[in-house]
Amino acid sequence: MKINRRSFIKSAAASSALAAAGSIFPGISFAEWKKQESASGKINWQKAPCRFCGTGCGVLVGMSGDRAVAVKGDPNCSVNKGLCCVKGFHSVQALYGKDRLKKAQVRKNGKMVEVPISEALDVIAAKIQETIKKHGKDSVSMYGSGQWTIPDGYVASKLFKGCLGTNNVEANARLCMASAVTGFMTSFGIDEPMGCYEDIEAADVMITWGNNMAEMHPVLFSRMLASRKRKQNVTIVDFATRTTRTSQAADKSILFKPNTDLAVANAICYEIIRNDWVNWDFVKKHTTFHKGKTNIGYGTEDHFSFKDKPEDITFEEYKTFLEDYTPEKVQRISGVSAKDIKYMASLYGDPEKKVTSFWCMGMNQHVRGTWIQNLVYNIHLLTGKISTPGNSPFSLTGQPSACGTVREVGTLTNRLPHGVVMNEKDRKMAAEIWDVPLSNIDPKPTYHTVEMFRALDRGDIRFMWIQVTNPMVTMPKLKRYREGCLKDDRFIVVSDVYPTPTTDVADVILPASMWVEQEGLFGNSERRTQHFDAIVPGPGDTMSDTWQIIEVARRLGFEKQFPWGEDEYIGKIWEEYRRFHDSPKHNMAPYTVLKERSGVQWPFVNGKETRWRFNTKHDPACKKGTEFDFYGKKDGKAWIWARPYEPAAESPDQEYDFWLCTGRVIEHWHTGSMTRRVPILHNAMPESYVELNPEDAADLGVTNGENVKIISRRGDIVMKASINGRGVPPRGSVFVPFFDENYLINEVTLDAFCPISKQPDYKKCAVRLEKA
Amino acid sequence: MPILSYLVLPQAGAMEQLCTDLSAIECCEVIPSDNEEVIVLVTDTPDDNTEKTLQKTLKNLPALQSISMTFGHSAE
């Protein structure tokens, strides 16, 4: 723990008074002292990104002594300009829950026993070696997170892919962002948004596609509302499967039937072409047309495999394809009136209007997630409304560093920090920077997340190290994967900050540093990398996830690849990592710049951030002599894809006649392991529930707060009904937030996924309801 | 830049009020006991003038019964 002279003297002053009190008042106690509530006085403020969502708000953490006692928005951060949401404003309290994990634990004779952390790290290293010796290198695995810091993910990838030689590295961002990635890669050949948050203030129209931004990205939504108030001619349209707070604030709310966003997007393109709203100059110079396979399956069986087969088509063939998607035809399947489809099309098609589309989990957690991303990009490409201020198809990120860590460092089975394992040039670069033999890096990807947990269940994987995530709440079709973890001859290591259902299945628990207890970096939705110092000491034996991995790596004999000292390792890791991105298309800012500023966007070229990519005026990586250069594709042209409507993996039928959708609420972050320990947030939203349409509730004979049993082919759960609350689903649909570990809704969901991205669909499966 | 600590006793029944009043004063860190009507107060002022003003403020708090210094440090 670092302490300065002044803090030391103040501690001595307090100790003197406490000692004096103890001698005058025998038995006096100060044990329940809640320092955050009573401390005041001199507060030192230090910058950090917020711990929670992918917006990446900058905060200032207020320190009094060695405790974080206050937090406010950082006015120097352009993301939020001093504003925070309810979670951000209470974020520091999440550091101080009563049951914080402070000691390492190892399972001995069936019981978890506290041990020195060095002993736990010895056990982990020995188990990795033993498992590899017995079952081969692909029997060990690492499952990380979009809440990993960038150094966490980097050292995990280096150890497992570079040193141990296995591609069994996945992260929970597979469950939240994989379709966003494959959408970018198939449409543009390169990942991450081309725009930035300044698109909000520049746009005339903003359309949210299946995205409850008012609750999920509230600070960005506040910027949208502020822009509408300031400019007077801004329109916000909410296009969703249920009515939410976003719908209530929007100028127009349009509801669609689950999965039919595919059909509606195609219908919008049909209208754009029919009305000759196509930006022909842009389309001819900067796009090409393609189609892929159809009837591509849903991935519900083990060892499911799919490889798409792109084919070139002509514009005329694309136009013919769209004839199945007239607004009148799409009205019948989507529930969206032809009038509303034409209205949305007219917004996109109006050459005077700048249009930004925002989406997140509604389009990502989708069995055709890659396709729906392609289709929304199609709309922007046909109209040329892309890569200019206010014209932006914007894929928002859920987690604080799904972009910065999982996508940019490449902590997925097929990825490397630059490129993919299948590419020899990319492997050579990794081998050189990591100082490992080229033969160490396996050219064949192994398992995506769902298949990795299936492999653990089958016994193809025997060891899994889980960091900064809670899969025993979040895996779809949860029961199978929990039982898999508990099988004989499986060894599970969990690094976390609080006990969770995932630590319940662990053989070793490592107490992790949390957020500003360690130095680190996050990367947000708009390509902004944000550095934070270690501001508060962690309790007990807590250790940063990065350092845990380094300690294990050294025990495995890889001191040469992990040589850094504890006082310098983050800066050294960053400078090593950024070598992978040394090009105008992806250059990252130096460590010294990141330490000074409240976030820096990449590509960072010649001291300047790139705010709009692929536009020659703003992006130095573009070829000169052209207005746009989609340099992710060999010919510099973006792809317009003919992708059809296909139904969900499991739709309501006679036996299971309701749609089930899952998601979040503003008060809680993910599985609630942090936010449910903040009293104000917990009290504001103490328990999960099932949202029902009032007419469905009346048919069921259920009133607000009464128990409802939700039954699927996978399992069942009893929850309290919420009727006419903050969200109202249409008839035939229910919605359940997943933040409450007392209600494991994923025991009911289905592990179907997009065959291209392998991202599961948490928004659609079939259930029936009973009054309980 | 003086740093001092005190044991502070409230008037009868005024523990909560005194904690609130002390918490609102700049340069004060307040540690109330959970089983006695006693407060540990740590003050950290940037200069002597601020220290003098603070001491005057403390002595004039209506909810305060007595204040006894237990530690003192000055940079000089």
For A658-707, write each residue's pLDDT tens digit. Answer: 999 999 999 999 999 999 999 999 999 999 999 999 999 999 999 999 99
Query: Is residue A461 domain-shared with residue A567, that is, in the same domain?
Result: yes
* Three-point CA angle A650, A395, A587, nearest 5°: 135
Chain A residues lying within 8 Å of B23, measured CB to CB:
38-40
Query: Is residue A170 domain-shared with residue A119, that is, in the same domain?
Result: yes
Residue ending a domain, choose from A50, A78, A96: A96
* A39 contacts B29? CB cut-off 8 A: yes
Categorize the per-residue pLDDT at A38 as very low, low, confident or very high, splitting at 50, 70 and 90.
very low
Query: Is residue A55 domain-shared with residue A28, that is, in the same domain?
Result: no
Residue A690 belongs to domain with CATH number:
2.40.40.20
Phi first, then psi, for residue A771 (nearest 5°) are: -70, 130
Chain A residues lying within 8 Å of B54, measured CB to CB:
none
User: How far, in whole angstroms, is CA A411 from its chain's centroid?
Assistant: 13
Residue A385 belongs to domain with CATH number:
3.40.228.10
Asked if B31 is an interface residue toward chain A (Cβ–Cβ < 8 A), one would say yes
For A410-455, write each residue's pLDDT tens digit. Answer: 999 999 999 999 999 999 999 999 999 999 999 999 999 999 999 9
Does some domain include residue A622? no
Of A564, A471, A570, nearest in space to A518 by CA: A570
* Three-point CA angle B74, B75, B76, nearest 5°: 90
Categorize the per-residue pLDDT at A29 as very low, low, confident or very high, splitting at 50, 70 and 90.
confident
Residue ending a domain, choose from A67, A96, A125: A96
Residues A20, A234: Cα–Cα separation, whole Å: 65
Does some domain include residue A615? no
Query: Is residue A3 domain-shared with residue A48, that is, in the same domain?
Result: no
Residues A425, A167: Cα–Cα separation, whole Å: 17
Q: What pLDDT score was predicted for residue A745?
A: 98
Does A27 or A491 have the greater pLDDT score?
A491
Q: Please state, for a pLDDT cut of 70, what percent of chain A lies above it.
A: 98
Residue A89 belongs to domain with CATH number:
3.30.200.210
Residues A451, A505: Cα–Cα separation, whole Å: 19
Does some domain include residue A388? yes
Does some domain include residue A341? yes
Contact predicate B38/B7, CB 8 Å:
yes
Chain A residues lying within 8 Å of B40, measured CB to CB:
14, 17-18, 21, 30
> Active site residue: A53, A63, A142, A176, which one?
A176
Contact predicate A646/A295, CB 8 Å:
yes
Token reading at A733: 């649909």
Q: Please confirm, yes or no, whether A353 is among the known catalytic residues.
A: no
Contact predicate A128/A556, CB 8 Å:
yes
* Three-point CA angle A298, A148, A138, nearest 5°: 60
Torsion of CA A343, A347, A350, A356, to 10 degrees: -170
* B25 contacts A17? CB cut-off 8 A: no
Query: Is residue A478 domain-shared with residue A532, that is, in the same domain?
Result: yes
Query: Is residue A353 domain-shared with residue A461, that is, in the same domain?
Result: no
Residues B31, B44: Cα–Cα separation, whole Å: 14
Residue B15 belongs to domain with CATH number:
3.30.70.920
ipTM higher than 0.85? yes
Of A495, A440, A491, A446, nearest in space to A467 by CA: A495
Our count of domains for chain B comes to: 1
Q: Please confirm, yes or no, whether A87 is among the known catalytic residues.
A: yes
SS3 A230: helix
Residues A488, A493: Cα–Cα separation, whole Å: 15
Give yes or no for residue A268 having a pLDDT over 70. Answer: yes
Contact predicate A36/A69, CB 8 Å:
yes
Which residues contact residue A219 at a Cβ distance below 8 angstroms, ignoring those fewer than 6 apart? A55, A57, A79, A80, A83, A84, A85, A88
Domain extent, residue B24, equals: 3-73
CB atoms within 10 A of CB A490: 18
Query: Is residue A249 domain-shared with residue A361, that is, in the same domain?
Result: yes
Phi first, then psi, for residue A365 (nearest 5°) are: -85, 75
> How far is CA A317 from each of CA A209, A295, A311, A430, rounded to the nearest angstrom?
27, 19, 12, 42
Categorize the per-residue pLDDT at A41 as very low, low, confident or very high, splitting at 50, 70 and 90.
low
Query: Is residue A320 domain-shared with residue A273, that is, in the same domain?
Result: yes
Does some domain include residue A637? yes
Q: What pLDDT score was predicted for residue B1?
A: 77
- Identify the DSSP state of A753: B
- Identify the DSSP state of A604: E
Of A638, A163, A172, nearest in space to A387 by CA: A638
Residues A174, A398: Cα–Cα separation, whole Å: 12
Query: Is residue A15 domain-shared with residue A39, that is, in the same domain?
Result: no
Chain B residues lying within 8 Å of A24, measured CB to CB:
7
A176 beta partners: none
**Closest residue of chain A to B5, computed from CA coordinates:** A13
Token reading at B9: 């006793």
> Active site residue: A87, A385, A637, A764, which one?
A87
Query: Is residue A8 domain-shared with residue A150, that is, in the same domain?
Result: no
Query: Is residue A315 domain-shared with residue A368, that is, in the same domain?
Result: yes
* A17 contacts B70? CB cut-off 8 A: yes
Does A37 or A139 have the greater pLDDT score?
A139
CB atoms within 10 A of CB A239: 26
Which residues contact residue A161 at a Cβ distance below 8 angstroms, ignoring those fewer than 6 apart? A167, A169, A416, A421, A430, A441, A442
Q: Is A281 exposed, middle or buried (0-12, 13-18, 19+ CB in 10 A)?
A: exposed
Query: Is residue A171 domain-shared with residue A309, that is, in the same domain?
Result: no
Q: What pLDDT score was predicted for residue A331?
A: 98
Domain extent, residue A278, equals: 202-396+632-642
For A202-251, write each residue's pLDDT tens digit. Answer: 999 999 999 999 999 999 999 999 999 999 899 999 999 999 999 999 99
Does some domain include residue A653? no
Of A368, A213, A210, A207, nearest in space to A296 by CA: A368
- All residue ranges of chain B with pLDDT < 50 are none
* A32 contacts B5? CB cut-off 8 A: no
Give yes or no for residue A343 having a pLDDT over 80. Answer: yes
Q: Is the whole-model pTM more than 0.90?
A: no
What amino acid occupies position B2? P
Residue ending a domain, choose from A49, A68, A96: A96
Which residues contact residue A643 at a Cβ distance below 8 angstroms, ignoring those fewer than 6 apart? A262, A266, A291, A292, A368, A371, A372, A374, A375
